[in-house]
Structure 1
């Protein structure tokens, strides 16, 4: 069970680095606007924690791509996913295509904000070469958060379109992560869609997708504010493209759900995938 949001203290020291990464990513992807200063603080803390993990991975001989995939698979069940009723409440009663439109817009704003922060940091460090040593950790943190926001979007679009993915919390998390790696929606009628989500081919696809996302963020290095502009714009376009692809896949697979169903999820659980 995930730690209730009211009890989370992402800025404090946590004995288990993997747990801290999961809590920080959960906070950065929870619905609601974060103040820019708070988002920068959380991203900085995430970068610091990931940096320690990356050093251990290098010492063990693990490649960055494999380590990134392992980190993301570990935190995927902590991504807060809302059910349809909660989505409608949080989006002013919208349903159907209007709700899907709003989800995509919200996700675009979130990934754009993360990209702008990472790009701005990269731009500052471009002007101060000694600080470049810390840039990769910040960009890895940005990559993890953007991926988490997009997995959240993908999973919640399945709620909107009434496409239910069965299985345990961990199985559903793996299935949504695998779908994000392919940039596609899940076909609930395909018997292997969940059972093979953690197969070797899926892990390879996830590793490649994360490395492509990281590579996109590396292009935000530039002088002055060009990095911030590029980082935000590239993330926004990529999230929009994902939303369009997933929605096209989900349309027609199941009748679009026109209204909320079931009770609201309590605020301290938020429908996390590890429930």
Structure 2
């Protein structure tokens, strides 16, 4: 019979499930109280620290480890269908619903960035090397990426781009699209079937490292880190949303409608 201590060791030895559950909670619809968000980010930081330590011992690079973690938790990101999205956003549809989704995502990544930036500012001494980034900022990177993947997936729902496959396949397809900052082409089945190819894994690793690198710039004295963290995340999410929406409008709407507003 396993002792309680042994049970705790087993949980610590395999933090992947806890990481997925925490990211799922941090990306669920609805507002989280600041104290609850900080608590969940703290737990996520501790869980990721265990995996990071193992990755260092095994010789795995930060980028590969980050990509592996994200691919593991991607199927746990809660993606809503169009009906549920409309219900959760006061009955909005079409462009108005997309606008509201973007505003919500921008607020979410801005809040996470402000929390991470404030922690970084409190611990300010000197900018660390990328491969020794504090676990808090790694956790922030994972959560921001999850919020943006969720936004990308739900924008596909709004614009009627349906991605076939199992839940896991769809999650990976949306993750691959996020890595490339593009919408999924509904006429290209390879968007799903080849989502885990070497090129896509490299794109995901590079994208996650860019986000982590952005968060490292939030190191600074006093509250400058919190302001920078929130602002940079908000701007990046806004840029992603604009690119995805333009992409999806071109792919899905008939001539004479939204496509005409995209210019020459």
TM-score normalised by L of structure 1 = 0.85
2:52 is aligned with 1:54: yes
Structure 1: which 4+ aligned runs deviate by more than 4 Å? Answer: none
- Give the conservation status (yes or no) of the 8 Å contact 1:14–1:20: no
The 5-angstrom pairing of residues 1-275 of structure 1 reads 15=11, 16-126=14-124, 136-255=134-253
Higher relative contact order, structure no. (Cα contacts within 8 Å, ≥ 6 residues apart): 1
Aligned residues: 241
Q: Gapped runs of 5+ residues in structure 2?
A: 1-7, 255-264
What is the CA-CA distance between 1:191 and the residue it aligns to? 2.5
* SS class of match (1:206): helix
In the aligned structure 1, how far is the partner of 2:168 from the partner of 2:91? 29
Report the CA distance between 1:252 and its aligned residue.
3.1
C-alpha contact (below 8 Å) 2:113/2:226 kept by paired residues: yes
* Structure 2 CA distance for aligned equivalents of residues 60 and 83 of structure 1: 40
Using the alignment, how far apart are the partners of 2:239 and 2:103 within structure 1? 11
Q: CA deviation at 1:253?
A: 1.8
Alpha-carbon distance between aligned partners in 2 of 1:253 and 1:243, rounded to the nearest angstrom: 15
8 Å CA contact 1:220, 1:230 repeated in 2: yes
| Cα shift at 1:190 | 1.2
Deviation sequence 1:208-260 (CA, Å, 0-9, x none): 0000000000000000000000000000000000000000000032249xxxx
Q: Per residue, is there more helix in 1 or in 2?
A: 2
Aligned CA RMSD, in angstroms, stands at 1.8
Give SS of 2:91's match. coil
Q: Against the structure 1 CA distance between its residues 111 and 14, is the aligned structure 2 distance closer, same or farther, given a 3 Å change threshold?
A: farther
Q: 1:252 to 1:55 in 2, by over 3 A?
A: same
TM-score normalised per structure 2: 0.88
For residues 53 and 120 of structure 1, the distance between their equivalents in structure 2, rounded to whole angstroms, comes to: 24
**Whole-Å separation in 1 of the counterparts to 2:9 and 2:31:** 24
Q: Distance in 2 between matches of 1:116 and 1:87?
A: 26
- Contact 1:182–1:205, Cα closer than 8 Å, also in 2: yes
CA contact (8 A) 1:125 1:135 kept: no
CA contact (8 A) 1:179 1:186 kept: yes
Segments of structure 1 that go 5 or more residues without pairing to the other structure are 1-11, 257-275
Secondary structure of the structure 1 residue equivalent to 2:134: helix
**Alpha-carbon distance in structure 1 between the residues aligned to 2:79 and 2:194:** 22
Distance 1:110 1:14, change over 3 A: farther
